[in-house]
Amino acid sequence: MRLAGLLGACLAAAAPAVASQPLSIAAAANLTQVIGALDAGFAAARPDVAVTVALGSSGGFVAQISNGAPYDVFLSADMGFPEALVASGHADGASLTPFAVGRLVLWTTKPGVDVSGVRAAVQSPAVRALAIANTRTAPYGRAAMQALESLGLWAEAQPKLVTAEDISQTAQFVETGNADAGFVALSAVLSPKLAGKGRWVEVPASLYKPIVQGAIITAHGATNPASAAYIAFLHGDAARRALEAAGYGIPPGSGGK
């Protein structure tokens, strides 16, 4: 289903004759800071649809959906996880669409820790614990590993690494001081809760593969008209503004109408 088809489905779903259904969304943990704004924007357009959201690791959601979890839409931290659901027959490949590009930063809340750059932090004696999301199941963790490898620092960083389940837990480790510094999403440090707390530097995008986040309709959500409406909403102006304000990039051809 191309964008034009999704927009058509959105309009059809908005028609009074179509009975609305509740919409259940599984969202990657990195979207914690922006999901409220996205849901508010969708609610303004579709007040007849009751939306529930679960936040967690993208890899964990793939396992849940594959085992029958009744989510209608999956907002992944990358494109690979939804593609895995398509391959296993648990999602509609025609509905898969990129909607945001994540940005990685190195963050600390501890005075005296040098975060002027990735190398400086890894090699600083003041950084004894460096938080990173799970490199197997969390795309932001994988991006951090790629950045360290690009700089030839992966082996040197190993003794300092503290692995979190997902990017939200990584931020918690840094915020609470359980890690001296950590690789987190830009959206986290720009959030109202953390804005102005500590110091951070953006990791150059050239050091890791783009974190292109994908949205897809699951097999469970294929019969729910609100699923296509939400996917189409992600390409509209309201969603674009919310995502950019939260520190995300917009994939080419995916921004507003």
Q: What percent of the chain has pLDDT over 90?
A: 79
pLDDT given for residue 13 in this prediction: 47
H-run or E-run covering 148: helix 139-150
In a domain, 92, yes or no: yes
One domain for residues 142 and 47: no
165 and 150 fall within a common domain: yes
Give the integer Cα–Cα distance in Å for 85 and 230. 19
User: What pLDDT was estimated at residue 254?
Assistant: 62
Are 50 and 112 part of one and the same domain?
no
pLDDT beyond 50 at 3: no
Which residues make Cβ contacts (< 8 Å) with residue 231, sequence separation at least 6? 6, 73, 95, 97, 215, 216, 217
Q: Which domain does 151 fall in, by range? A: 103-207
Position 208 pLDDT exceeds 90: yes
How would you classify residue 100: left for phi > 0, otherwise alpha for psi between -120 and 50, otherwise beta? Answer: beta
Amino acid symbol at 219: A
CATH number of the CATH domain containing 67: 3.40.190.10
Instruction: Give pLDDT, residue 112.
Output: 87
pLDDT, one tens digit per residue, over 82-139 is: 999 999 999 999 999 999 999 999 999 999 899 899 999 999 999 999 999 999 888 8
pLDDT in tens, 191-204: 988 989 999 999 99
pTM for the whole structure: 0.83
